[in-house]
Amino acid sequence: MSLAEKDLSPQPLAPAAHGRVYNFNGGPAALPLPVLEQAQAEFLDWGGSGMSMLEISHRDKRVVRMVDGCEEDILGLLGLGPEWRAIFLQGGASLQFAMIPLNFAPDGAPADYVNTGMWSDKAHKEAVICGSKARIAASSEQDGFTCIPKKIDYDPKARYLYLTANNTVRGTEWRSFPKDAPAPLVSDMSSDFLSRPLDLSKFALVHAGAQKNVGPAGLTIVLIRKDFAETGKKGLPHLLDYRTYLSSNSMYNTPPVFGIYIAGLVMKWLKGTIGGLANMAAINEAKAARLYGAIDGSGGFYKGTAKEDSRSLMNVTFRLPSPELEARFLAEGKDRGLHGLNGHRSVGGIRASIYNAVPPEAVEALIAFMADFQKTA
Amino acid sequence: MSLAEKDLSPQPLAPAAHGRVYNFNGGPAALPLPVLEQAQAEFLDWGGSGMSMLEISHRDKRVVRMVDGCEEDILGLLGLGPEWRAIFLQGGASLQFAMIPLNFAPDGAPADYVNTGMWSDKAHKEAVICGSKARIAASSEQDGFTCIPKKIDYDPKARYLYLTANNTVRGTEWRSFPKDAPAPLVSDMSSDFLSRPLDLSKFALVHAGAQKNVGPAGLTIVLIRKDFAETGKKGLPHLLDYRTYLSSNSMYNTPPVFGIYIAGLVMKWLKGTIGGLANMAAINEAKAARLYGAIDGSGGFYKGTAKEDSRSLMNVTFRLPSPELEARFLAEGKDRGLHGLNGHRSVGGIRASIYNAVPPEAVEALIAFMADFQKTA
């Protein structure tokens, strides 16, 4: 059966039936409706336990199985071997910005950073605070962060090369990753995690805040190669040492149980309903192609902000001819049930975040609105 | 209206109606049923937003108001003035064990710790890892952690005196706090937070993991005096510096929105249904008095593990004549819908956690079972 024959659509949000909107939020963001419905149905009594998932002990065997199962599903979806672990942390990308250098480039050790905008800039600055010799090995700043840099000036002594896989603010995304870096790659994949299959053979660590493609804010998923974890600085506070999570299966202290539970349901949805990451990527590519097509076909009324070869499949950023029209676009869009289309507060403009759980019909509704709006503008 | 005239009962768990059990978990633990029911009812569409609370942006004005309102309600319930803030963090008590010394006893500065068992021991050890001159100023170790120490050997130079307000493992609780400490008090109140009114005039910082009395695991609430926060070490990673949370109203990065939302509903329940912390304390004292009464009145069959003047109102720990009887007690209790009565895995025995949301009827059901069990043992 080819992709074309198969119905790959994520279940629609069905705004009419639920009073729900089309959700284009940058994050926290849309989650699959069947996941939310299941969580709602068993909210007072999870799996016959007689307790809410908010109330059950994290040491309960059923919860331990759920947490272990979520890790297995993540590794399975990505096709990762036993040299990898998926661990569950808290603190978002911002805590990873500190943990990574504290562990892997401590006491003035060198590390390379690629600056593609706000998030990698924050990661780099935090590494400097943490005492690393953190260096910008490439940057698209001179291009106004509209693209992914083509050339990287590697430090052969760098402990790792850090990059932000997808920039939610600027709408840029690495379509493929550096193959010639002398250091292992470390990446923030918060906003495109599990949106496509990944070859992680050059990577040592990937971190992802759950609140884009995976689940609620307050859960951070880290993929880490076991041998890399072992190279971390010793003697750090327990919660800042990745080994603490490896040796305890993410249960050194009480983990964010509800977030892991929702992430686990999303994994089942990705495996079952969607059929894996290749299918998810096909859906995401089709959604993005439709939306960029509408932008490019608008005769210049809508203008994409990212260069074509660096366009994100997750965050489609564009401008209208004036800030006044943009404000009207956002207001009238809301009236049509299209929510969260405002650009990041640091740059303005329009941003449609079309993460995994945003169904094709939401994108079609946006495209129809864009056409109508242009006629009246 | 006196307390006796007023119906102070938290709404019963109504296990029959919902297939729910009586939940005596040590944490994560029981939450008020009306809170869970409201969260369930609006799970797909929060407050007419057309989005789940898991999907809405933390920068949405309605969410910002919700977060600010939760802080106001916490400060209001405790009667704290404008010199205090309540901030929302992640990482549980374990991250506080590191953040407190990193901020307030850095670079070998002295700090006093009172050791009442596992949690304060962990806090002390983490302070040593963080480079503080952390010193045990009092300990109940020689009493097997069955009590709160009466005498404290203060270091006049200590930056703070750290204590664990309630020890969930040993079932001990500070009924009143040191008044003559030369240093400001810093306390882990995870397991008795908001269970009673508090005089915080000697305190500078209180931390509480939400998963006992407040909400889901993954949210940590910190009460901090603003002037104390300002004395913190500068140049720490952003998420380890309390000022980051103060200056951003807990929104430097995406906070654990769903946890704060549940905590906010619990605050409304404490204010509205319960009527404030004095009423909550009266309910908690009555529940504990009934249960300790049943233990003490059992002719030695049930034996409390904590000394009488140090008994916790939150975690009632006791033993049966043999481990075999304890195993049978736990199994038969489960058959009667009494869940989570096992002692902490480090000590064994029985522990009934009777947090705010555990209704008097749950305690009565436990007492009835204890009487029945004793007859058949």
List, run by run, the mean pLDDT of 10-residue segments along chain B (377 residues).
44 56 96 97 95 96 98 98 98 98 98 97 98 98 96 98 97 96 98 97 97 96 98 98 98 98 98 98 98 98 98 98 98 96 95 98 97 96
Report pLDDT digits (tens) over A308-338: 999 999 999 999 999 999 999 999 999 999 9
Q: Are residues B115 and B177 in the same domain?
A: yes
Q: Are residues A309 and A197 in the same domain?
A: no
Name the active-site residue from B73, B112, B188, B192: B188
**Confidence category of residue A18, pLDDT binned at 50, 70, 90:** low
Q: Are residues B204 and B255 in the same domain?
A: yes
Residue A179 has pLDDT above 60, yes or no: yes
Residues A102-116 as b/e (b if ≥16 CB within 10 A, e otherwise) read bbbbbeebbbbbbbb
- What are the residue ranges of helices labelled H in A223-276? 226-230, 242-247, 257-269
Mean pLDDT for A201-214 is: 97
Distance of residue B9 Cα from the nearest chain A Cα, in angstroms:
20
Report pLDDT digits (tens) over A25-37: 999 999 999 999 9
- Structural domain ending residue among the three candidates B271, B305, B328: B271
DSSP A302-358: SEESS-GGGB-SSEEEEE-SSHHHHHHHHHHHHHTTEE--BPPTTT-SEEEE--TTS
The domain total for chain A is 2
- Taking contacts as CB-CB distances below 8 angstroms, the residues of chain A near B346 are none
Q: Are residues B254 and B284 in the same domain?
A: no
Print the domain residue range for A367.
Answer: 277-376
Q: Which two tokens stand for residue A90?
A: 């808290």
Q: Is A32 on the interface with B (CB under 8 A)?
A: no
How far apart CA B296 and CA B266 sit, in angstroms, is 33
**Residue A237 forms part of a structural domain:** yes
How far apart CA B195 and CA B353 sit, in angstroms, is 12
Distance of residue B242 Cα from the nearest chain A Cα, in angstroms:
14
Report the mean per-residue pLDDT for chain A. 95
- Among this protein's residues, is A212 annotated catalytic? yes
Do the Cβ atoms of B238 and A339 come within 8 Å?
no
Q: Are residues A267 and A301 in the same domain?
A: no
- Structural domain ending residue among the three candidates A250, A271, A292: A271
The CATH number of residue A125's host domain is 3.40.640.10
Q: Is B14 on the interface with A (CB under 8 A)?
A: no
**Residue B84 forms part of a structural domain:** yes
Q: Is B278 on the interface with A (CB under 8 A)?
A: no
Determine the pLDDT at residue B18: 60
Q: Are residues B209 and B162 in the same domain?
A: yes
Q: Is the dihedral of CA A321, A322, A328, A329 positive or negative?
A: positive
**Residue A26 forms part of a structural domain:** no
The CATH number of residue A359's host domain is 3.90.1150.10
Q: Are residues B335 and B242 in the same domain?
A: no
- Taking contacts as CB-CB distances below 8 angstroms, the residues of chain A near B12 are none
**Residue B6 forms part of a structural domain:** no
Do the Cβ atoms of B36 and A44 come within 8 Å?
yes
**Of A250, A261, A264, which is closest to residue A90 (Cα–Cα)?**
A250
**Confidence category of residue A3, pLDDT binned at 50, 70, 90:** very low
Determine the pLDDT at residue A2: 41
**Residue A28 forms part of a structural domain:** no
Q: Are residues B288 and B354 in the same domain?
A: yes
- Structural domain ending residue among the three candidates B253, B271, B289: B271
- Note the pTM of the prediction, 2 decimals: 0.95
Do the Cβ atoms of A90 and B54 come within 8 Å?
no
Helix (H) or strand (E) run with residue A299 in it: none
Distance of CA A319 to the CA centre of its chain: 23
Of B44, B235, B345, the CB nearest to A59: B345
Q: Are residues A285 and A250 in the same domain?
A: no
Stretch 184-223 of chain A: residues touching chain B, C-beta under 8 Å: 209, 211, 215-219
**Residue B223 forms part of a structural domain:** yes
Determine the pLDDT at residue B19: 83
Answer yes or no: are the C-beta atoms of A9 and A360 closer than 8 Å.
yes
Residue A5 has pLDDT above 50, yes or no: no
**Residue B27 forms part of a structural domain:** no
Q: Are residues A244 and A322 in the same domain?
A: no
User: What phi-psi label fits residue B103: left (phi over 0), alpha (psi between -120 and 50 degrees) or beta?
Assistant: alpha
> In a mutagenesis test of the A interface, which of B23, B37, B55 is the best target, namely the one with the most A β-carbons within 10 Å?
B55
Measured between CA atoms, the residue of chain B closest to residue A215 is B54
Residue with tokens 């672990």: A85
> In a mutagenesis test of the B interface, which of A53, A62, A122, A239 is the best target, namely the one with the most B β-carbons within 10 Å?
A239
Q: Are residues A98 and A244 in the same domain?
A: yes
Answer yes or no: are the C-beta atoms of A361 and A290 closer than 8 Å.
no
- Among this protein's residues, is A188 annotated catalytic? yes
**Residue B106 forms part of a structural domain:** yes
- Among this protein's residues, is B188 annotated catalytic? yes
Q: Are residues A204 and A113 in the same domain?
A: yes
Answer yes or no: are the C-beta atoms of B263 and B271 closer than 8 Å.
no
Q: Is A91 on the interface with B (CB under 8 A)?
A: yes
Report how many Cβ contacts below 8 Å link chain A to chain B: 215
Amino acid symbol at A12:
P
Of A40, A44, A215, the CB nearest to B18: A44
Determine the pLDDT at residue A19: 83
Q: Is B266 on the interface with A (CB under 8 A)?
A: no
ipTM over 0.90: yes
- Taking contacts as CB-CB distances below 8 angstroms, the residues of chain B near A216 are 54, 256-258
